[in-house]
Amino acid sequence: MAMSSALPLPQPIALNLLGSERSREALEGVAMELEDSLFPLLREVNIGIDPRSVFEDCDWALLIGAKPRGPGMERGDLLEQNGKIFVEQGKALNEVADKNCKVLVVGNPCNTNTLIAMANAPGLAKENFHALTRLDENRAKCQLALKSGVFYSTVTNVTIWGNHSTTQVPDFVNARINNMPATEVISDREWLENEFAPCVATRGGALIKKWGRSSAASTAVSIADAIKALVTPTEPGDWFSSAVSTDGNPYGIEEGLVFSMPLRSKGDGGWEFVEDVIIDDWLRGKIKASEDELKKERDCVMHLMGMAGGSCELGPEDTTLPGEA
């Protein structure tokens, strides 16, 4: 963000960093690093622990912090603990942020955290809330490019459907490589279904096992990419992925969720659904599984959204992506 790589034109940046008493010294160190790097468009760096102060009049809110899932912790408990963070931040955004503020949630489980923040910020348009799935899209493009031996930039029309979890659906059905259907360039359907898709969905955990820590640089790049996709007109015929409100979607996905889908933008910060996509039986089944998971997550946090009803019936299986928040 300090390099302004997410923005189409040179734009002065004021960064407000939200932390806690425990993280204040670390944030001060980050601020020192930013100042010493002499980023030409970075005008100021401010630190605070009160979201109402940090979010005041903000144009973009990047909600990155969330608690990781601890040993023996049920997924419902993780949703509850992190949900309370996003209740507070949603209310603060509603009170003090610019009414056109765009909100990008990175902290996991980011789809449902976005839903909670959105419900607690009724003064902001639902369309302005996003959960980050651009990192998953970038990973999918990488794997398709490596398999076909082409430059990353020649892989387009890649969608990540659903939840930012291991139920996410990397879509090779609609993807294109050098403007050809990916399924023609890579004709091995078994590889696409049973190696490519699981590889993308579990890439974060694999990175942690290799490196001993969660993704950082690639996450930062994907945040910049996600913002750039909204403030730059989408290339004709292409699209990008972001998890947004399902209200009014043309894919038959239940409304009232935050679900990653293919979008286009005119470059004004807004977006529209892509309607001309193919959903075959394999894709439909996988999308339904991710939708069902998100419905269960929503039911677990309805009380945090000011809604009655809902019971938490998440199973013991761990589909939460580790350490990417």
Catalytic residues: 164
CA distance 305 to 292: 19
Within 8 A by CB and 6+ apart from 311, the residues are: 299
Find the distance separating the first CA and the last CA of the chain, reported in whole Å.
Answer: 17
Q: Say if residue 128 carries a ligand binding annotation.
A: no
Q: Say if residue 82 carries a ligand binding annotation.
A: yes
Strands 102-105 and 60-63: parallel
Q: Say if residue 107 carries a ligand binding annotation.
A: yes
Q: What is the CA radius of gyration of the chain?
A: 19
Q: Say if residue 139 carries a ligand binding annotation.
A: yes
Q: 160: which 2 tokens?
A: 């990540």
CA distance 284 to 314: 22
Asked if 191 contacts 206 with a C-beta cutoff of 8 angstroms, the reply is no
Q: Say if residue 258 carries a ligand binding annotation.
A: no
CA distance 308 to 303: 6
Q: Say if residue 264 carries a ligand binding annotation.
A: no
Within 8 A by CB and 6+ apart from 142, the residues are: 152
Residues in the chain: 325
Binding-site members for substrate are 69, 75, 108, 139
Q: Known binding site: residues?
A: 69, 75, 82, 106-108, 139
- Binding site per annotation, positions for NAD(+): 82, 106-108
